Structures are given as C-alpha cells and as structure tokens.
Structure 1
C-alpha cells in the first residue's frame, strides 16, 4: 500500500519513497465573498475545507522566513479524500490545503488561487508499506520495487 503522512506503529514494513508537497488554495469566488488572507492568522476569518485524517483537525501549520505559524481554523467541510477536497475548494466552499498534484493544474487554469505563497505548508512523508518480505508474493514484491524505483514519476518529491 502507499501511505501519505506520519505512520502509526504497525507490523508492516515502511519504506519512505518521497514527500508530498501541499499548497493552500481557494477559488476566486470565495475570495470575492471573503477578504483574501495576507497572513496565516487571517485564515481564522475564512471558511476552510479540512482533511479528517490529519491531526489536529482544526489547525494548519505554515513555515516562513520568520518561523513556524500555527493557526486555528474553522472547517466548513471535513472529508477524507483529496479529490473531494479539491472539488469543494473549486466550488468555493472554503480554502483548502491540497496535495500539489490536485492543485497545480487548477492554479494554472485560474480556477484556484495559491494563497499565502510566502508561507509553506509542511510537506508530508510518502511511504510504501508492506508485510515482512519473507511473506510477500512475487507480484507484491514487483509492485513494491516499481513504486520505489519510479517514485519521482508519481508527482512527488524524492527524499532528501
């Protein structure tokens, strides 16, 4: 399996294959109804679409030249699927922190705006997880090896 984020303890073997860059975005329509944020604290006044499997659910963190910024947000929608979050952001339901592969095309087309570009959303680790190799089928080994070999092709940043 492929897992994004900090992993909890399990009996599976985990191998980090990269990181997932994330971007804070919003639809232009949302920004006509609400004042665009200039600083992370301005997000307190903006409806937000959040991901239910990240913790804490009502806080977003940002990194900048001036340090780390943690902001309490008000979710207008919480879901567990990046594609649904992307659709919600496109519909103007709230600002969202999306994986770059969900956001970059929409930013280029003008359907989403990259908010607070001077403040980076911390990237998340990307792992391939699998049972003890002794118990893996040949097909599962081949899949694991392909993911590890081609991680850069899957729109991720390789580990540093």
Structure 2
C-alpha cells in the first residue's frame, strides 16, 4: 500500500472516529479503510486505534503518530503547491519602483521584452530617486542604487551601477581630450543634480587603488540626466553617466569615453521585495528575470 495514502486515511479515522464516516468522506468501503489502518499498525508493530463496534479512539502511540502524520501530510501538500505554482505562468499586475535614469534607459527595455515573454502580465513602473515606502505606496518590486539600510526588505544584489565620463568627438576635437581626472577641471562638465557651494558635486575616479576626486564645474546643470546626455551628444561638455547607457552611445560613435584609464564611480544596486508580501509567481518570476538580466557579469 502507499504509505501517504494510508496515513491520510488514518488521520481521517482519528478525526472522525468511525471507519464508516471515513469511508463515506473518502468514497471507500469501511473494509478498505480498516485495511489501511491495519497495514500501518503492522508496519509500526503497534496498535494505533482502540476499536469498538461503534467508535474508535487513539492509543497513546496512535496520538503521537497522528500529530506527526498531520505535519508530514501538510508538508506534502505545501511541496505540491509550490511545485504547481512554479509551473504556473505569471499573470497580473506588478507595481515596480526604480531610479529615474536606470528605469528609463535600462529597465524600460527589459520590461518590454518581459511583457512580450509573458503576455498575461501587466507592469506599472514608477520612476523617482527618493526612498519609497513599499507598503504605504503599494510597490511590489523595487530597484535601489546605493547602500541598503531597510531590514524590512528582502534584497538580491545586482551588478554595481557603474559610471563613466564621456564627451562627443566634436567636443574633444575642439577642447582637447581629458586623459586624467585633474584635466576635467579645465573642461565644461555637465553636472547632474542640485548642488550648492556648501555641498558641491564630486566625481570620484580610481586607478591602481588610488582615488582622485574632481569637483566638476560647467554652465549646464540639470536634475534629469537625459537632458545632460543630449547636451553631451551635441558637444556641450563632459557628462558622467551609467556605463550601460553611454556604452551604446560610444558604439554608435556619438560619444567617446574620456579619462579612459580610470574607473569611474560605482554604487551597489539591488532588487528588493517587501518581506511582508507573499512572493507570488508573478513577483518571483519578475525578480528572477531581473537578476538574470542585471546580475554581476550579465549584459542587458
């Protein structure tokens, strides 16, 4: 006999107290129920039920065995549910939050490919650079750049968010090629973000374990990096931006990397989900796809 089936019948017998009621509930004969219980008793070498002509009651061994059987059967049900869920096709709406530049240039193309792959999925993408409250604002998946401090989130690391410095071939031909970070002090830099004299913008470069800091200056600042990318392509200065995006502009010949022998700034990047939320198929599948696309050593 199948042990799990016999355990299931035994649990029912313990709970209902009658082979006849078990037989009716499970669509078996009372004799079939009795055979399963007797088979377990023979296997264990111990009586599990005290039988009378009308009712059954658990023995001491039967009571302990009953409690363990419930745990085993619950784990079997949970394992099967997980397996079935993993086979299921993701569907439904996923609310995603990400930083503006990464979201617009790198995440958006990934999302369109993901939607093509899973046509029953919808994604609502919100882009901003502030820290959001996923529970309060209803986000299910979040991409964050920078050090993590929120312990209420489950986090998976992605590849670092690396920045490089670039300018257009026209600009370099006109103003010269910056070979080292200190050269940028004599160039028009396109500064991202809102900075003040007391809190100046800093660009940090590294080479051979040594760091060099630059405080870029220029005539054009913006709080949206897309505007600075346009200005760089048009020859108005040097921009510091994500390597993934600028690499495509370099390949297209619209920009060239300056200060090429130095590593630009790099910040950790993670995908997060609130620990309080159940990781459904749609969330788990989306997170796994993100990790595959943006994991360390992976390309877009």
TM-score (norm 1): 0.77
* Structure with greater helix percent: 2
| Farther off after superposition, 108-117 or 137-146 | 137-146
Aligned to 2:101: none
**Which runs of structure 1 show a deviation greater than 6 angstroms over 4 or more consecutive aligned residues?**
none
Q: Which 5+ residue runs of structure 2 have no aligned equivalent?
A: 1-141
| Farther off after superposition, 102-111 or 6-15 | 6-15
CA distance in 1: counterparts of 2:185 and 2:150, whole angstroms: 33
Q: CA deviation at 1:100?
A: 1.6
Q: Pick one of 245, 249, 255 that aligns with 1:106.
A: 249
| Farther off after superposition, 122-131 or 78-87 | 78-87
Q: CA deviation at 1:7?
A: 4.2
Q: CA deviation at 1:72?
A: 1.3
CA distance in 2: counterparts of 1:14 and 1:76, whole angstroms: 39
Aligned to 2:260: 117
User: Is contact 1:49–1:75 with CA below 8 Å preserved after alignment?
Assistant: yes
Distance 1:4 1:78, change over 3 A: farther
Q: Pick one of 127, 135, 139 that aligns with 2:277.
A: 135
User: Is contact 2:168–2:233 with CA below 8 Å preserved after alignment?
Assistant: yes
Aligned to 1:79: 222
User: Is contact 2:179–2:260 with CA below 8 Å preserved after alignment?
Assistant: no
Q: CA deviation at 1:18?
A: 1.5
Q: Deviations over 1:8-63 (max 9, x none)?
A: 64743332122133221001222234232232111112111233289x75211111
Q: Pick one of 158, 170, 190 that aligns with 1:49.
A: 190
Q: State the number of aligned residues.
A: 153
Aligned to 2:291: 148
Q: Pick one of 159, 162, 165 that aligns with 1:18.
A: 159
Q: Highest CA radius of gyration, 1 or 2?
A: 2
Q: CA deviation at 1:145?
A: 2.7
Q: Pick one of 145, 149, 169 that aligns with 1:28.
A: 169
Q: Which 5+ residue runs of structure 1 have no aligned equivalent?
A: none
CA distance in 2: counterparts of 1:74 and 1:114, whole angstroms: 18
TM-score (norm 2): 0.45
User: Cα RMSD (Å) of the superposition?
Assistant: 2.8
* Structure with greater strand percent: 1
CA distance in 2: counterparts of 1:10 and 1:80, whole angstroms: 29
Give the 3-state SS of the residue equivalent to 2:265 in structure 1.
strand
CA distance in 1: counterparts of 2:200 and 2:150, whole angstroms: 20
User: Is contact 2:200–2:215 with CA below 8 Å preserved after alignment?
Assistant: no
